[in-house]
Chain A
Amino acid sequence: MSEPTLSEAPLSEALLSTVDERAVAAGVPPERPSGIGPGAGLVALARRSWRWLTSMRTALLLLFLLAVAAIPGSLLPQRNLNMDKVRDYYVAHPKIAPILDRIGGFEVFASPWFSAIYLLLFLSLVGCLVPRLRAHAVALVRVPPEAPSRLDRLPAHADGLAAQGDPAQVAARLRAALRKRRFRTVVRPAPGGGFTVSAEKGYLKETGNLLFHFALLALLIGVAFGSWYGYKADRVVVQGADEGFCNTLQQYDDYGLGARVSPGDLEPFCLTLNDFQARFLDTGQPADYRASISYTVGDSPAKSTVIKVNDPLRLDRARVYLVGHGYAPVLRYTDRYGHAQTIVAPFLYLDNNKTSSGVVAFPDANVDPVKGRDPNNKQQVAFSGVYVPTSDGTHAVSVFPAERNPILVITPYRGDLGLDAGIPSSVYTLDQHQIDTGRLRAVSSPLRLRPGDSARLDDGTTVEFLGTRPWTALTVRYDPGETVVLVGAICLLIGLLTSLTGRRRRVWFRVPSVESGAAGPVSAGALARSEYPGFHAEFDELVKEVR
């Protein structure tokens, strides 16, 4: 920071960062026009670029670009939010979608151009902050500067104040008054006799300012750390001790690991859904969800707890969130050899009233106990259809999310389910290719089954709808960067408040001495280095201390 000069007065409204002073503070020497050879030109270019990058105008431009660049992220479907919507967009706009995809339109916040903007912004920030930090560190240990020669040209000044006592006494009195107001004060003997009192206050403003901007850097580091060392995985868990799962990648429906996470790093826990309760208002609006679970971590004994929306299970290095729920119909199929199998298949809900669709597959049905499986004439069985928790009696659409009048409408299929090809396929739909090629055929028209109902198929086999079990969609997450981000956010807020409420100002008094040894008329001046409405009132208060 330079000495206060008169030209600084109109510029004294710096709030967060008066960064037009950036280049000066950075200690970059003025460009020399000389420069011999291509190297000097490059250096000059680099210096100019750096100065441009760290200027406030560039920072503002980048800030504005960042805001604009975020807009497509809210208008276009994003992969990280909803893969299905991206797929829908591809179907709806087959021409534009691939182009948008290539420029990162569906992953805006991971796209090179979005990253480029914020990285440049942070680079600009560092380029500004480091010199400012150095300057502030110097300012913090320095005593307030000597009074300017002409106090009457400062924004606030007072002349000819009659003082009582000798100059040293007056100076001491002023110093005490300033110190009481927490000014950093220094008294210097003046060359011609008498004293000058210099005082400065409001260093916290710049401290807060720097804290705010460094907290932004901390946020970025925390986010990066979390994305490298964190992971996320999703899993549908049906109620029942036989349906539990463990925190290993094989058991997940979907997962994403950070760049520095290996499968072995996952917190070793296993979890079972014991019970799930959903409460609804008569309008169908959900009122409360509770999932009772039991879990073990490593070799420790099993514990039980309840997880709810807003209330996840928090383990040391993983958290388990309740993010959805639905119904899993339970079917018992007795094949032509009299072999009965019971399958629980979670159905995916299609609407808020939990009209759910899915497939209950019996790939091991109709295997001759003597001859074994006949690969050329598969007699696998599956039931595909919808589950309606509350039927209005006629339509296959639910009118309420709880099970008030449940009905299962399913079509039986027989043939080759196409599971042996090794191609990953949805467990919620039948392989349409197998149906189209006639390898999997519908056996009859849809069956309408209530819990407890059973039906006989054309080959004499039977299917019984035993009821449903609830399922919950759980998300397992770990983000080690969170603590850094949280601390960064708190520091950011503290820094912001300090920088917005802090007011840097300087006050000077000149106490001359007259021949009799008494203090002559005292003059005073003050300079607010940031916008400060109470500046003059404070100065007037201080001036009263002279007497």
Chain B
Amino acid sequence: MMAALSDQLLVYAILAYTLAMLAYAVEYSFGTRSVVGRVATRELVGAGGPLLPDATDEIDGDPDSDAPAQPPAGLADPRGLPVGLVGPPAGLVGSTDVAGSVGLGSSVGLGGSVGLGSSVGLGGSVGLGGSGGLGENARLAALAGRAALALTALGWLVHLGCLVTRGLAAHRVPWGNMYEFVLAVCLVGATAWLVLLARRPHLRPLGLFVTLVLVLLLGIDGMLLYTKVVPLVPALNSYWLKIHVTAAVTASGIFLVGFVAAALTLIRTGYDEGKVRFPYSLGARVPAADGLERTTFRIHAFAFPIWTFAVICGAIWAEAAWGRYWGWDPKETWSFIAWVIYAGYLHARATPSVKRTVATWIAVLGWAAMMVNLFGVNLVIAGLHSYAGVK
């Protein structure tokens, strides 16, 4: 019964994430960049952020920017564009990074900045014709943004319920096969996204892409990888399952959000460089590349030690189960490849002579290796880690 409930909940979770994605898309299409950022902030200030209560400490200063928490003082950044990010203008504090830390504060009203938006203009990338039309769109965008937040949170709750009931049905941790693994990775991804959103409300435009990845992965999971609840095979029957796989799930889920941030950093950077074709055209509403790039780095820097821990635990478990801590089994090989690529990313990011764009590409490559490790190794290459259970 619990198993059937879990299956039901997965459908509802995918549905909620899909609706959230649509809402994000509406906000993305109708909101100007400033509206998106400002509304996200305003909601947190005005309503006390019921969904994300611990976010208020971040309002006054974008923690990414090396800038002191000060009341917002400037409306336009040096390029003359009202970029709706939270944080003081860069010029005042002599911060080395400019774009990410410029923006509007919470005290600036919606109407006022709409007027600003229409007077300064946004490079013509969004239809900022008349003030009235914009106001209409802005209201729609604001509504959609709120709905997207609520739907993501709802989807997360249902998703959590799906995993919990699955665990109750199986009488064990619900990550004993590939279906459950992907389910858990996506839950961590959604969690990481909500936490990130709480700390960086201005990143909400990323929600469209995060939910897109979640819906795709969960859809593939439910349709192609679905496995009935069964007990563990003897090889998995170890407390290391709880440690090793939990760490792998956590790292993968956080890398998922890191990948979205990395991909959008590249899109935004390309857009800033004047590339207009898809996917760079998406860059218009993406938060400024500089801050996004720093967020990308911090997500990866957070997930990388967890991934390292997962690989080490895997080695310790392999010693107990197979007699050797490392044997170049395909899963081990691809975990190693992903580890090396992510290590390369962190090193490239710390090397001033390597361009940030190049470094960010390496992060995207890391996620590609993670995907090969998940799908390629489980479904195509046979090895000792053949626990997918997919017929």
A residues engaging B (CB < 8 A)? 9-11, 13-20, 56-57, 59-60, 63-64, 66-67, 70-71, 73-75, 78, 80-81, 108-109, 155-157, 223, 232, 281, 283, 285-289, 308-312, 319, 321, 323, 475, 477, 479, 482, 485-486, 489-490, 492-493, 496-497, 500, 528, 531-537, 539-540
CB contacts (< 8 Å) of B347 on chain A: these are 15-17, 19, 56, 59-60, 63
Are B340 and A155 in contact, with the CB atoms below 8 A?
no
In the complex formed, the residue of A with least CB distance to B349 is A15
C-alpha gap A230/B271 in the complex (Å)? 56
Choice from B308, B319, B328 contacting A496 with Cβ under 8 Å: B308
Distance of A436 Cα from B352 Cα, bound (Å): 72
Q: Contacts A287-B231, A496-B304 hold; do A310 and B238 have CB atoms under 8 A apart? A: yes
Quick check: A537 and B68 within 8 Å, CB to CB? yes
Do A11 and B352 touch across chains, with their CB atoms under 8 A apart? yes
Asked if B234 and A308 make an inter-chain contact with CB atoms under 8 angstroms apart, the answer reads: yes
CA distance A56 to B352 in the complex (A): 10
Question: Contact at B312–A489, with CB atoms within 8 Å?
Answer: yes
Q: How far is the CA of A17 from the CA of B350 in the complex (A)?
A: 7
Instruction: Assess the B325–A485 pair: CB atoms within 8 A.
Output: yes
- On whether the beta carbons of B68 and A309 are closer than 8 Å, the reply is no
Contact A540 B68 (CB under 8 A): yes
User: Is there contact, CB below 8 Å, between A70 and B94?
Assistant: no
Question: 8 smallest A-B Cβ distances: which pairs?
Answer: A15-B350, A536-B68, A74-B330, A74-B333, A310-B238, A321-B323, A309-B234, A67-B340
Known contacts A57-B353, A496-B308; is A286 also within 8 Å of B234 by CB? yes
With most chain B CB atoms within 10 A of its CB, the pick from A108, A232, A493, A540 is A493
Q: Distance in Å from the Cβ of A136 to the closest Cβ of chain B? A: 16
Residues on B with C-beta less than 8 A from A537 are 68-69
A223 to B326, CA, bound (A): 9
A309's partner among B237, B337, B354 (CB-CB below 8 A) is B237
Task: Answer whether residue B5 sits at the interface, using C-beta atoms and an 8 A cutoff.
Answer: no
B interface with A by C-beta (< 8 Å): 63-64, 66-69, 93-96, 230-231, 233-235, 237-238, 240, 294, 297, 301, 304-305, 308-309, 312, 315-317, 319-330, 333-334, 336-337, 340-341, 343-344, 346-354, 369, 377, 381, 383
Closest to A540 in B: B68
Cα A75 to Cα B381 in complex, Å, equals: 7
Min CB gap B250→A, angstroms: 15
Q: Which residue of B lies closest to A479 (CB)?
A: B324
Residue contact A60 to B351, C-beta cutoff 8 Å: yes
- A74 contacts B334, CB within 8 Å? yes
Beyond A15-B301, A19-B347, 16 extra complex contacts between A and B, CB < 8 Å: A16-B346, A56-B347, A63-B340, A63-B344, A70-B340, A74-B330, A74-B377, A285-B231, A286-B233, A309-B234, A309-B237, A310-B317, A482-B319, A486-B325, A493-B305, A536-B66
- Give 22 CB contacts A-B under 8 Å: A10-B352, A15-B349, A20-B351, A57-B354, A63-B347, A67-B336, A70-B328, A70-B336, A73-B333, A80-B327, A109-B328, A283-B230, A285-B233, A287-B233, A288-B234, A309-B237, A312-B323, A321-B322, A475-B323, A492-B308, A497-B305, A536-B66
Residue among B230, B353, B377 with the highest chain A CB neighbour number at 10 A: B353
Residues of A within 8 A of B344 (CB): 60, 63-64, 67
Q: How far is the CA of A540 from the CA of B343 in the complex (A)?
A: 34
Q: Tell whether, in the assembled complex, residue B320 and residue A311 are in contact, meaning their CB atoms are under 8 Å apart.
A: yes
Q: Is the CB of B328 within 8 A of A536?
A: no
CB-contact partner of A67 in B69, B330, B337, under 8 A: B337
Q: Which residues of B contact A156 (CB under 8 A)?
A: 66, 68, 93
Q: Is the CB of A20 within 8 A of B234?
A: no
Contact B333 A13 (CB under 8 A): no
Q: Which residues from A are CB-within-8-Å of B325?
A: 479, 482, 485-486
Query: Closest residue of chain B to A234, judged by CB?
Result: B323
Q: Is the CB of B337 within 8 A of A71?
A: yes
Residues in chain B near residue A157, CB distance under 8 A: 94
Q: In the assembled complex, which residues on chain B have CB atoms less than 8 Å from the CB atom of A14?
A: 350
Contact B308 A493 (CB under 8 A): yes
Whole-angstrom CA separation of A211 from B118 in the bound complex: 55
Given the complex of chains A and B, what is the CA–CA distance between A80 and B69 in angstroms?
A: 58
Provide the residues of chain B in CB contact with A70, threshold 8 Å: 328, 333, 336-337, 340
Enumerate chain A residues within 8 angstroms of B353, measured Cβ to Cβ.
Answer: 20, 56-57
Smallest CB–CB gap between A223 and chain B, Å? 8
A310 touches B346 (CB 8 A): no
Are B323 and A232 in contact (CB-based, < 8 A)? Answer: yes
A contact residues around B301 at 8 Å (CB): 15, 500
Say whether B340 contacts A528, CB under 8 Å.
no
A533 touches B63 (CB 8 A): yes
Q: Hey, which chain A residues are within 8 Å of B330, CB to CB? A: 74
Query: Please, which residues of chain A bring their CB within 8 A of the CB of B231?
Result: 281, 285, 287
The reply to whether A20 and B352 contact each other, CB–CB distance below 8 Å, is yes
| B234 contact set on A, CB distance < 8 A | 286-289, 308-310
Complex Cα gap A227–B231 (Å): 37
A-chain residues with CB within 8 Å of residue B64 when the two chains form the complex: 533
Closest chain-B Cβ to A260's Cβ sits at a distance in Å of 18
Give Cα distance in the complex from A287 to B235, angstroms: 9
Q: Are B323 and A56 in contact (CB under 8 A)?
A: no
Residues of A with C-beta under 8 A to B333: 70-71, 73-74
Report the nearest B residue to A55, measured CB to CB.
B353
Known: A20-B353, A287-B234. A493 touches B309 (CB 8 A): yes
Instruction: Name the distance in Å between B324's Cβ and chain A's nearest Cβ.
Output: 7
Chain A residue at minimum C-beta to C-beta distance from B68: A536
**Distance in angstroms between the alpha carbons of A288 and B67 in the assembled complex:** 59
Nearest-Cβ distance from residue A66 to partner chain B, whole angstroms? 6
- Report B-chain residues with C-beta under 8 Å of the C-beta of A15: 301, 346-347, 349-350
- What A residues does B326 contact at CB under 8 A? 223
Report the bound CA distance from A134 to B221 in whole Å: 52
Residue numbers in B under 8 Å from A59 (CB-CB): 347
Neighbour of B230 across the interface among A155, A285, A536, CB < 8 A:
A285
